[in-house]
Structure 1
Amino acid sequence: MGKRLLPLLVVALGIGMFVLLQVTRTPPPAVDVAERAWPVSTVEVSLGTHHSHVSLYGEVVAPGRVTITAPLPGRIAERPVMEGSRVEAGDLLVALDDDDIQPVVVQAEAELARIEAELEAQHVRFASDTEVLTRENELLANARQQVERMRSLVRRNLASRAELDQYENDIARAEVTRLTRQGELNQQPARVAELEAQRAAARAQLNEARRDAERARAHAEFAAIVTELAVAPGDRVREGDALLDIIPLQGMEVRARVSADLEPELLEALAASSALVAHDSQGNRYRLRGMAGVGDPAGTEAIFTSDRPPLWLRPGKLVTLSLERPATEASLAVPHDALYGNDLLYIVEESRLLPLPVTYVGEIPGPDGSPWALVKGSELVDGQRVVTTHLPNAVDGLAVEPVPVDSGARESEDAP
């Protein structure tokens, strides 16, 4: 019996000792967990009026491109220009052989001379027929008097009836001739009008032939660049065949698509005659001339022109432009790292982050020349401290510790 109780007593004794130790042990010291404050750089809010910039990607086009065509069929005699040649106003571009051009002019001149001679002959004929008609009328009057005398002789049996009939037949034939000639004279205005119309048509054909002969030697009408050569000296061409293209130096444009939210701003500036200027990467200046007449849901093309286009500007090239937008009042320039999602800044208030909604306007050169973001917002107030260190875990109420600007190099190492 005692042997059976001994193990139980040992177990009970161990449990008792454990409980005694738990009750009499010294409690561990309390550990205080301090909240970490993240070091951040800040800038003071100072609202002002700024001109932001927006990057646009455009393509060079040449709406003033001219295609030189052959005015007449013939052989190419001269083509002193090459692909890419730069020409000035008055320079010869291409010329057809004179032996193919002059016969056309001579033929048109001969046709005009023939019609003018025929018209002159018609006037002479009219004058002659008028004089003849006058004489015929006089002869007819005399003949009628002779018939009356013959009738008197016939009534007195001094002449035969056959002689009277002969006189009357002569008068009838003379009357027919007079009527025919009078009809010819009556048609004179119509014949003259027809010949004058033919003369006008022949004169127009001559002018066209002379014009084509002049165009057969094509000269540049403005300073331009030669492109799309289609012929060489010795080639034979038909009327209307394309010979070459020229692109005016002053007529090239850069067309860049702008977003739908930026379009109303540019249209308002154009309506107010405000000069909006853009620059390319080399500093060349472009002026906003207008907006394209047709757009789509993605936006509309803005049209830029340059008074002094660079020599490298060619149709089809892609150009990146930095457009200076209209002035934005009550705006703030901050580094891009200060922005969260393009619509949120954090300010420091009582050593904690406070979110501040803003509207992204565009870019503006920062103090070091790098692009900064220009924002505006109804809750921005002068004197606020905006956090410029980008914190991936930034949330409302996060503890932060502003640091001097010269310590900014260590912020990225400490940032979470």
Structure 2
Amino acid sequence: MRKNLIVATLIAAGILLWLLSGLFGSNDGDRAANPPPLAEAQPRETSREPVAVRARESRAEPRQRTLALRGRTDNKRTVEVRAEITGMVIERPVERGSRVEAGDLLCRVAVDDREVAVAEAEAALKRARIEYEGALKLREMGLQSATAIAQAEAGLAAARATLKREQLNLERTALRAPFAGVVEAVALEIGDYATPGTTCATLLDLDPMLVTARVSAGDAARLEVGAPVRAVTATGRELTATLSFIGNQSDTATRTYALEATLPNPDYLLRSGVPATLEIPTGEVQAHRVSPALFTLDDAGRLGLRTLDRDNRVVFQPIDIIEDGAEGTWVTGLPSVTRIITVGQEFVFDGQRVRVEQDEPMALSARSAR
């Protein structure tokens, strides 16, 4: 028994010594298995040979800042011309797509006995006028009371009102266009029976045309009614408009304000509901034209360019894009004169000293085209 205890004690002591040996051993094996990060093994600032880059000097130019909004075209008015009296439709000279002028006939309801009613009202008015004039002569002779005079005057007024009512009913047999426009839809055919409120035709006012959009509160504060606006439709048509309305009540869901631009459309070629982009000038700024291929992001996710200071150290400059075109992108946020890295910007970091090879003046444009 004592012998077994001694053997067990010796085995335990050996295992303990083997475990403790790892705590006091060299760390070289661990470093070989887990090498330090590259940044620790080779500090950035101790690089012997500076990275070679190419740079281009850029000078700011005055540029008009524009606000781009997505919207759509919208006709100014849409009206459903409705019947005001009952009767059978006997004429409808327009079809869908017809262009009409103000006052043109859209539908005509049968006259029936309305002309007879007008003639009867005219005769009643003539009689009432004679009775009133006779009452006035009798008053001059002292043979007519004031009550009779008032009664004759009231009869004359009633006859005039009846005639006017019958004339209006006769005029209402013709449903006419309230303004110039295009017939979008027709609802009555010849032989249909119209009642008060029945739609004859739907009329669109396409001249002038509106381009509607939504704008944020910050942008709305920088805009003024009457400013020129450039509109580009989804079909590629470029139009010149005038800012005609900026809303004063924000939408409860989007917190944006309604905006309208008005443009002439005398030929009616521009249709309602076409997607369009509004470009509204908001002021002049100093901007640089650069290739979008040079854009990069910093650690915070900001869009910018890598530039060089006087000591040829890399400086990240955040930018704002104000205009994008085929010849390049106009940006703000850079000094008026700055050197932009055009080749090698992907391999350098902020604060690094580099070796500069100056770019040719047209090199950036040539690479952008490629």
Task: Describe the shift of the 1:261–1:61 C-alpha distance in structure 2 as closer, same or farther (beyond 3 A).
Answer: same
Q: 1:289 aligns with which of 244, 249, 252?
A: 244
Task: Describe the shift of the 1:208–1:357 C-alpha distance in structure 2 as closer, same or farther (beyond 3 A).
Answer: same
Moved more, 402-411 or 239-248: 402-411
Task: Describe the shift of the 1:372–1:408 C-alpha distance in structure 2 as closer, same or farther (beyond 3 A).
Answer: closer
What does the per-residue CA deviation read over 1:375-398, in whole Å, with 9 as the maximum and x for residues that have no partner? 146xx132x112356956764214
- Alpha-carbon distance between aligned partners in 2 of 1:188 and 1:264, rounded to the nearest angstrom: 70
Q: 2:232 aligns with which of 266, 276, 279?
A: 279
- Alpha-carbon distance between aligned partners in 1 of 2:177 and 2:222, rounded to the nearest angstrom: 43
What does the per-residue CA deviation read over 1:306-348, in whole Å, with 9 as the maximum and x for residues that have no partner? 2247755322332234x14134233333333444456643311
* Partner in structure 2 of residue 346 of structure 1: 306
CA shift, 1:58, in A, is: 0.8
- Alpha-carbon distance between aligned partners in 2 of 1:89 and 1:348, rounded to the nearest angstrom: 66
Q: 2:282 aligns with which of 309, 319, 326?
A: 326
CA shift, 1:304, in A, is: 1.7
CA shift, 1:87, in A, is: 0.9
Residue 30 of structure 2 corresponds to residue 77 of structure 1: no
CA shift, 1:256, in A, is: 1.4
Moved more, 49-58 or 338-347: 338-347
Aligned partner letter, 1:37 = V
* Partner in structure 2 of residue 356 of structure 1: 317
Size of the aligned set, in residue pairs, is: 313
* Partner in structure 2 of residue 375 of structure 1: 332
CA contact (8 A) 1:74 1:96 kept: no
CA contact (8 A) 1:72 1:238 kept: yes
* Partner in structure 2 of residue 13 of structure 1: none
CA shift, 1:372, in A, is: 1.0
* Partner in structure 2 of residue 27 of structure 1: none
Q: Within 5 A, what are the aligned runs for 1:2-21? A: none
What does the per-residue CA deviation read over 1:103-134, in whole Å, with 9 as the maximum and x for residues that have no partner? 2243134134224414423543675698695x
Q: TM-score, normalised by structure 1?
A: 0.63
CA shift, 1:90, in A, is: 6.0
SS at structure 2 position matched to 1:255: strand
* Partner in structure 2 of residue 206 of structure 1: 166
Q: 1:335 aligns with which of 291, 316, 321?
A: 291
CA contact (8 A) 1:126 1:185 kept: no
Residue 255 of structure 2 corresponds to residue 304 of structure 1: no
Q: Within 5 A, what are the aligned runs for 1:32-43? A: 34=48, 37=51, 39=53, 42-43=55-56
- Alpha-carbon distance between aligned partners in 2 of 1:126 and 1:408, rounded to the nearest angstrom: 100
CA contact (8 A) 2:291 2:364 kept: no
SS at structure 1 position matched to 2:152: helix
CA shift, 1:44, in A, is: 2.4
* Partner in structure 2 of residue 396 of structure 1: 350
Task: Describe the shift of the 1:352–1:90 C-alpha distance in structure 2 as closer, same or farther (beyond 3 A).
Answer: same
* Partner in structure 2 of residue 87 of structure 1: 99
Q: TM-score, normalised by structure 2?
A: 0.70
Q: Within 5 A, what are the aligned runs for 1:50-199? A: 50-83=63-96, 85-89=97-101, 92-97=104-109, 100-101=110-111, 103-121=113-131, 123-124=133-134, 127=137, 185-199=145-159
Alpha-carbon RMSD: 3.7
- Alpha-carbon distance between aligned partners in 2 of 1:351 and 1:249, rounded to the nearest angstrom: 60
Aligned partner letter, 1:318 = P
Q: 1:231 aligns with which of 177, 185, 188?
A: 188
SS at structure 2 position matched to 1:117: helix
Asked which structure has the greater RCO (Cα within 8 Å, sep 6+), the reply is 1
Task: Describe the shift of the 1:409–1:124 C-alpha distance in structure 2 as closer, same or farther (beyond 3 A).
Answer: closer
Task: Describe the shift of the 1:308–1:123 C-alpha distance in structure 2 as closer, same or farther (beyond 3 A).
Answer: closer
- Alpha-carbon distance between aligned partners in 2 of 1:311 and 1:292, rounded to the nearest angstrom: 27
CA shift, 1:211, in A, is: 3.2
- Alpha-carbon distance between aligned partners in 1 of 2:367 and 2:136, rounded to the nearest angstrom: 111
Task: Describe the shift of the 1:49–1:107 C-alpha distance in structure 2 as closer, same or farther (beyond 3 A).
Answer: same
- Gap runs ≥5 in structure 1: 1-30, 134-183
